Amino acid sequence: MKYQVSANTKNISGSINLPASKSISNRVLIISSLCFNPYPIKNLSDSDDTKVLFSALLSNKSTFDIGHAGTAMRFLTAFLAKIVGVWEVTGSERMKQRPIKILVDALNQLGAKIEYLENEDCPPLRIYGSHLKGQTLVLDGSISSQYITALLMIAPTVENGLTLKLTGDITSGSYIELTLRLMQKFGIQYQWEENEISVPEQNYFPMEFTVEADWSGASYWYQILALAEKGEVFLENLQLESLQGDANIAVWFEQFGVFSTQKENGVLLSKTKNIQPAKLELDFIENPDIAQTMACLCVAKQIPFHFTGLKTLKIKETDRIFALQNELAKFGATLTEPEHGELAWNGAIDSSIAEEIPEIKTYHDHRMALAFAPMAIAGFTLRIEDPMVVTKSYPIFWNDLKTIGFEIATKE
């Protein structure tokens, strides 16, 4: 099944109830399980990833299939390593290609016993949960912040706590900070000095918690307004002063004429004039999940760009560098990778390779569908393959688009 997406309006107006943050939801689920939290978690994300993790944590089974949910794979691996028992965690074919060696090696150093059941260094895993003893671990900070987060969340419950020394450039540091700030809300003390994070052995404090709206989900509405001529969109439950690092995009989009105002129950986005940069240069080392949004925006508006800090994009749900190059070529844009972790475009459109109605492959990656669909506001008609991949993070995305004037038609 495919969705054909078009838009007959250039003026946008509406109120959107954004999904709750998947990043916060999944972290709070692990923390709550570690402290046997009896209090409710309010506004929990309705995403596939969160549902999978929630189900696994409540299950009496010893085998878990987490599908495409990368955060669930990383977080559960660390969590189960300290829960006495024998556990198996598997996932989709793509998940079986996603490396997890750094996390497995770290946990084994703490006293865990984790085996690979198929391909070396990748899931599925057999985990022999046991008592873990803390020490100082040296980790490559440039690979994935989710490995670091998985270790940090169990750190207070490990004998003698845990110290992480991170080497190289720290990728997605804002997500590490998000983890630590959430742990702090549940009573945990820590120290983070330069590239060293220390978490002593201590107890989490159970508490009621409400999850805030998702800034990654908000990025698509910023993108839509940037492509529109004018308009206003109210994003319910969103906070400019947020735990999430992706809140930085509020400043990024001001150069596209999109401005943010905090209201009592959310953030009002407004666009009253059409402006744009001559060239966009951004470092995504703190915000890699926004890269697809910005690449699609720039091609739709024919803005040359040079993006850096994208080293983790190759190990996401798909190789996102490859996917962006393939799919944006269907609009006539030839993207290059000047260096590892970079993506660039000179602004030229080659009509000889552009498709009349681009058919976008999603590669089992929700952010491909979420980032490409808004391009319809720029006048494109496009088709999205496997459109329901959005349920991974934003289940009601297509309905929300319809409320502001997008036309969504089902095609076989």
List, by residue number, the catalytic residues.
289
Give the DSSP letter string of 235-265: EET--SS-SSGGGGHHHHGGGGTEEEEEETT
Instruction: Note whether 83 and 56 are within 8 A (CB).
Output: no
Handedness of CA 113, 114, 120, 122 (dihedral sign): negative
Q: Residue 356: is it exposed, middle or buried by C-beta count within 10 angstroms (0-12/13-18/19+)?
A: exposed
341: left (phi over 0), alpha (psi -120 to 50) or beta: left
- Contacts of residue 263, Cβ cutoff 8 Å, sequence gap at least 6: 234
State the Cα–Cα distance between residues 330 and 357, nearest whole angstrom.
Answer: 9
User: Rounded to whole angstroms, how far apart are CA atoms 406 and 373?
Assistant: 9
Label residues 197-221 b or e (16+ Cβ within 10 Å = b): bbbbeeebeeeebebbbbbbbbbbb
Dihedral sign from CA coordinates of 402, 405, 406, 409 = positive
d(CA 81, CA 219): 35
Question: Do residues 57 and 80 touch, judged by C-beta distance below 8 A?
Answer: no
Whole-angstrom Cα distance, residue 46 to residue 50? 7
Nearest to 360 by CA among 280, 296, 291, 282: 296
